[in-house]
Amino acid sequence: MESINRTQFLKDHANSIRAIVGSFSHGADAALIEALPKLEIISCFGVGVDKIDLGKCKENGIPVTNTPDVLTDDVADLTIGLILALLRRICECDRYVRSGNWKNGDYKLTTKFSGKTVGIIGLGRIGTAVAKRAEAFNCPISYYSRTEKRLSKYKYYPSVVELASNSHVLVVACPLTPETRHIVNRKVLNALGPKGVVINIGRGPHVDESELVSALLEGRIGGAGLDVFEDEPNVPEELFGLENVVLLPHVGSATVETRTGMADLVLANLEAHFQGKSLLTPVV
């Protein structure tokens, strides 16, 4: 059922809603959870559960599920796509051809990806999948995470600033939490430097967007490839005129195959819950 008036919808149905399906754009805050006395489960269509008040869910004994694994390949593929699009100016080149500019001369030289150092913030499922792909491009890989992964063959940096100073390509691939909000700040951007680029396929608030905009406008970093933004679908318009920026509308997992897999997993979790079985992919 679709409702344009949320307040009225909640008034009419609050006492019968037993499950919420959330997403990266629609979550469940404490007020919504409190407003639904019959709520039993939140099944999130996506891997990031930052829009759901997990503390409140725990407190009220409401399980939360997400859709890990099924989307990892897509997000990692897109990350490599963003890096290549940015360094090789693929979107700019496409515009160059379409606008007829090629007739006036060749496109200028761009930047090689193979062999560049790649620094990954967050070596979870997606970070690891990005690392594997970047290895195939002969890129030395390093990472930052809260704790060193003892079994990882990649180089660990205990701070994001150190990681950024030692990376050409800095990839944000960690979950959004209060600790990782603005994990890419002015200091990190300055450490990345004019030859470095930042790729954000995590969440907009991982990056301090106004600092990113000024770093780009002032040439303090080399470019940015962004699939996510602080206030989606609003994107800072200062970025629209920059050739060293590639902007995507939060499409990391947006393929027919993966979105179908995610939907199946959402439904399988709901089914398991209502049949009294173990949840497939519980978060809390």
User: Token pair for residue 227?
Assistant: 């699939």
Q: What angle do CA 148, 114, 189 make, to 5 degrees?
A: 55
Closest approach of ligand O=CC(=O)O to the CB of residue 253, in Å: 5
Q: Confirm whether 232 is a catalytic residue.
A: yes
In DSSP terms, which residues pair with 142 in a beta bridge?
119, 155
Q: Which one, of 283, 275, 274, lies nearest residue 40 by Cα?
A: 274
For residue 209, how many other CB atoms are within 10 A of its CB? 20
Catalytic residue among 232, 243, 257, 271: 232
Catalytic residue among 125, 186, 250, 259: 250
Q: Which is nearer to ligand O=CC(=O)O, 69 or 94 (CB)?
A: 69
Q: Which is nearer to ligand O=CC(=O)O, 24 or 143 (CB)?
A: 24
Closest approach of ligand O=CC(=O)O to the CB of residue 24, in Å: 4
Closest approach of ligand O=CC(=O)O to the CB of residue 57, in Å: 17
| Helix (H) or strand (E) segment spanning residue 274 | helix 256-274
Residue identified by tokens 């780009």 is 216
The CA-to-CA distance between both ends of the chain, in Å, stands at: 27
Catalytic residue among 203, 209, 230, 273: 203
Closest approach of ligand O=CC(=O)O to the CB of residue 262, in Å: 7
Q: Confirm whether 203 is a catalytic residue.
A: yes
- Name the site residues for ligand O=CC(=O)O (rule: CB under 6 A): 24, 46-48, 71, 252-253
Q: Cα separations (Å) of 165 from 4, 190, 201, 274?
A: 48, 8, 20, 50
Q: Confirm whether 89 is a catalytic residue.
A: no
User: Token pair for residue 167?
Assistant: 């990376």
Catalytic residue ranges: 203, 232, 250
